[in-house]
Amino acid sequence: MKKILIIMAALLLLLGLTTGGGVGAAIKIGGLYSLTGGLAPFGPPIANGAKLAVDQINETGGLLGEPLEIVVRDTGTAPAVGRDAATKLVEIDKVPALVGALSSGVTFAVSSITIANEVVQISPASTSPAITDLDDNDFVFRTVVSDAAQGVVQGDLAEFLGFETASVIYVNNAYGKGLAEVFKKTFEAKGSKVLAMVPYEEGKPSYRGEIEAAIKGNPDAFNVIGYPVDGNKMLVQVVELGYQGKYLFSDGMKGEAVAAGPASEYIEGSFGTAPGPIKVAAAEQFEADYIAAYGKSTVPFRGESYDAVALIALAIQKTGPDFLKMSRAEQGRAIRDNLRAVANSPGVEVTYNEFATAFDLLKAGKDINYQGIAGPCTIDENGDMSEGAIEIWFIHNAKVETVRMVEVKI
- Say if residue 39's pLDDT is above 50: yes
- pLDDT-derived band of residue 280, with 50, 70 and 90 as boundaries? confident
Q: What is the pLDDT of residue 350?
A: 97
Q: What is the pLDDT of residue 108?
A: 97
Among 278, 279, 244, 259, smallest CA distance to 391 is for 278
Give mean pLDDT, residues 4-26. Answer: 40
Q: Where are the extended beta strands (E) located within 215-336?
A: 221-225, 246-249, 271-276
Measured CA to CA, the distance from residue 122 to residue 312 in angstroms comes to: 9
Q: What is the pLDDT of residue 4?
A: 40
- pLDDT-derived band of residue 271, with 50, 70 and 90 as boundaries? very high
Those residues with Cβ within 8 angstroms of residue 141's Cβ, 6 or more apart along the chain or in another chain: 120, 121, 122, 123, 311, 339, 379, 383, 384
Which secondary structure element, helix H or strand E, spans residue 2, and what is its range?
helix 2-19
Residues in the chain, overall count: 410
Q: What is the pLDDT of residue 22?
A: 37
The angle at the Cα of 306, spanning 305 to 308, to the nearest 5 degrees, equals 65
Give me the chain's average pLDDT, please.
93
Those residues with Cβ within 8 angstroms of residue 92's Cβ, 6 or more apart along the chain or in another chain: none
Give the lowest-confidence range in 10-14, 95-99, 232-236, 379-383: 10-14
Q: What is the pLDDT of residue 8?
A: 38
Task: List domains and CATH numbers for the chain.
Answer: 26-147+281-387 (3.40.50.2300), 148-274+389-409 (3.40.50.2300)
Q: What is the pTM of this model?
A: 0.91
- HSE-CB for 116 with a 13 A CA cutoff: 11
- pLDDT-derived band of residue 278, with 50, 70 and 90 as boundaries? confident
- Give the model confidence (pLDDT) of 108-162 as tens digits: 999 999 999 999 999 999 999 999 999 999 999 999 999 999 999 999 999 999 9
Dihedrals φ, ψ of 128, to 5°?
Answer: -60, 130
Measured CA to CA, the distance from residue 136 to residue 117 in angstroms comes to: 11
Q: What is the pLDDT of residue 267?
A: 98
Q: Are 32 and 82 in contact (CB under 8 A)?
A: yes
Measured CA to CA, the distance from residue 223 to residue 232 in angstroms comes to: 13
- Give the model confidence (pLDDT) of 293-302 as tens digits: 999 999 999 9
* CA gyration radius, the chain: 22
- pLDDT-derived band of residue 254, with 50, 70 and 90 as boundaries? very high
- Give the model confidence (pLDDT) of 74-119 as tens digits: 999 999 999 999 999 999 999 999 999 999 999 999 999 999 999 9
Residue 287 DSSP symbol: H
More confident residue, 358 or 10: 358
Measured CA to CA, the distance from residue 69 to residue 36 in angstroms comes to: 22
Dihedrals φ, ψ of 139, to 5°?
Answer: -110, -5
Give mean pLDDT, residues 202-220. Answer: 97
Peptide bond into 41 cis (omega under 30): no
- Give the model confidence (pLDDT) of 172-193 as tens digits: 999 999 999 999 999 999 999 9
- Regarding beta strands 387-396 and 271-276, do their DSSP bridges make them parallel or antiparallel, or are they unpaired? antiparallel
Peptide bond into 101 cis (omega under 30): yes
Identify any residues that bridge with 68 across adjacent strands, giving them in sequence order. 27
